[in-house]
Structure 1
């Protein structure tokens, strides 16, 4: 299944294919942003597509990617189980907690949780 724009809870979401190309560079994230310009307000990226360095905050990759989404006024939703990474990093746990309290970047277990979050902010 290719990346596709769908309406979820009244919001247009670019749902990224779990088997799509990995996001290993900031340019890969910018490419997703470009794809979202087909009318999406949210980009839902499976956690498995994100390079492991995204979850290692010392690499600064997550911050760079998240800032790109904020700059382009798009929401980023990281979808999937990141419990292994959370156990390994108190800093990542703090980032996820703070991000999920805000409105631009969310870490959610599945697309149903994304739907609930979108309904809550509508």
Structure 2
């Protein structure tokens, strides 16, 4: 995992660049939150879509909701960068839509958009 910190509008944001799956369950999400906090001190994280297991995008597993709750509980904001157009589930599309209109988790196509959204909070 390559972890860098950038500053945008005086806000420090951790950017993860990795092609490996980093979040497979709630514990791995907590581990990632702790690692980012310890190594960077940031409470805003940009994640590539590949860092989330495909189970996250199957809402029947409840994994997305459980992980989102951990991010909220620990006051960590995150943006997931990738192409989500391949998912046909209406429930998932609704989840992404609602997340993008909230203040905790965003799903965007480009890293620059993720940084701008997280810096604006």
Q: CA RMSD of the aligned region, Å?
A: 1.7
The answer to whether the 8 Å contact 2:44/2:118 transfers is: no
What aligned pairs does 1:1-122 form with structure 2 within 5 A after superposition?
2-37=2-37, 38-85=40-87, 88-121=88-121
Q: Which runs of 5+ in 2 are unaligned?
A: none
Report runs of 4+ in structure 1 exceeding 2 Å deviation. 18-22, 118-121
The answer to whether the 8 Å contact 2:21/2:50 transfers is: no
TM-score w.r.t. the length of structure 2 is 0.88
CA offset at residue 21 of structure 1? 4.4
CA distances 1:4-24 after superposition (whole Å, capped 9, x unpaired): 222234321121122244311
Q: Which runs of 5+ in 1 are unaligned?
A: none
